[in-house]
Amino acid sequence: MDEQLNFLPCGYLVLTDDGIILEINETLLTLIGYSLDELYNQHVNSILTRSSQFFFQIYFFPMIKLQHKVEEMYITLKSKEEEDIPILLHACRTERVGEFKTDCVFTPMKQRYEYENALLAIKKETEKQNRVKKEQIAELDLLRKELEFKQKELLEVNFKLWELANTDSLTSLNNRRYLQDKLASSIAESTRLSQPLSFLLLDLDHFKKINDTYGHLMGDQILQRLGEILRVEMREEDIAARYGGEEFALILPNTELSVALEIAEKIRIRIENTDWNISKVTISIGATMLVAGDTVSTLQSRADQALYSSKNHGRNLVSSNF
């Protein structure tokens, strides 16, 4: 350090952008009671009081990097003997040999009320801002929870609407609309994977006679009971639906026609042997399997033809069309 700088009538030091002391003059060393070896390469916090350390962090470092100068900052140095020394600080930041360095000039002062008041005001303002921040965070958290709740409600409503749109209200099976969509996607999937797909159409025998004899309430009960039987007999991957009136349908993915006929026969026997609390109830079933070039319409048409074959050959039968 130049002799003139070393013995200026005011303290002088040079800091890195990280606050490390690179140079400090004899005047400042004498003022705070340290030797050069004790402070060289130390952080400037080592000669600041706790409140001044805080002030440096929130004001000095951001300001010096933004404006490259700080004027008339009131801080308090801490001597080696733990004595508080009020100081007026001026600083400027310049680039030297590719690095930014900050020159600081310290002027001792006895009157520091203005600085203390400013520090107190900053502390109060910081506390106020922290309080406001906490309140805002709490409010945002409440809004987030309300939004999550509303989103959950919306998902539940959408699911209920989806169920209403795709479920038969009497039997709680899928409805024909859902069946049509699912049959189309099942055909596409089976074609893509080169897997078999079977389809069953089921129709209660003489259902009009049941309604005329026992009433529509009994007819509805039979349809509901049939829906329950299908849910029990079908496999997890199968799709059952009420096709319309007393007609029902089953999509059997990855199923050969021979297996589909076994499933159909099992359902037919189960219905025939069920105690319906009226005269015997039976069902006719038509079965078919996907062939190359099939559409929803052609697959349903073949199953329908097989169903009519069962009807025409005495009912309570399983017939196939492939």
Q: How many CA atoms lie less than 13 Å away from 143 in the CB half-sphere?
A: 6
pLDDT tens digits, one per residue of 189-200: 999 999 999 999
pLDDT tens digits, one per residue of 153-183: 777 777 676 666 789 989 999 999 999 999 9
Contact (Cβ atoms closer than 8 angstroms) between residue 285 and residue 201:
yes
pLDDT truncated to tens, each residue of the chain (322 aa)? 788 889 888 999 999 999 999 999 999 999 999 999 999 999 999 999 999 999 999 999 999 999 999 999 999 999 999 999 999 999 999 998 889 999 999 999 865 555 566 777 888 888 888 888 888 888 888 888 888 888 887 777 776 766 667 899 899 999 999 999 999 999 999 999 999 999 999 999 999 999 999 999 999 999 999 999 999 999 999 999 999 899 999 999 999 999 999 999 999 999 999 998 888 899 999 999 999 999 999 999 999 999 999 999 999 999 999 8
Candidates 76, 58, 59; CA nearest to 112 is: 76
What are the angstrom distances between the C-alpha of 298 and each of 91, 108, 193, 243, 308? 89, 100, 20, 16, 15
Specify the DSSP element, H or E, that contains 246.
Answer: none
Contact (Cβ atoms closer than 8 angstroms) between residue 176 and residue 243:
yes
d(CA 16, CA 14): 7
Output the pLDDT for position 125. 86
d(CA 276, CA 290): 34
Residues designated catalytic: 246
Cβ contacts of 170 within 8 Å, gap of 6 or more: 220, 223, 224, 227, 242
Q: What is the DSSP string of 265-296?
A: HHHHHHHHTS--SSS---EEEEEEE--TT--H
List beta partners, residue 320.
287
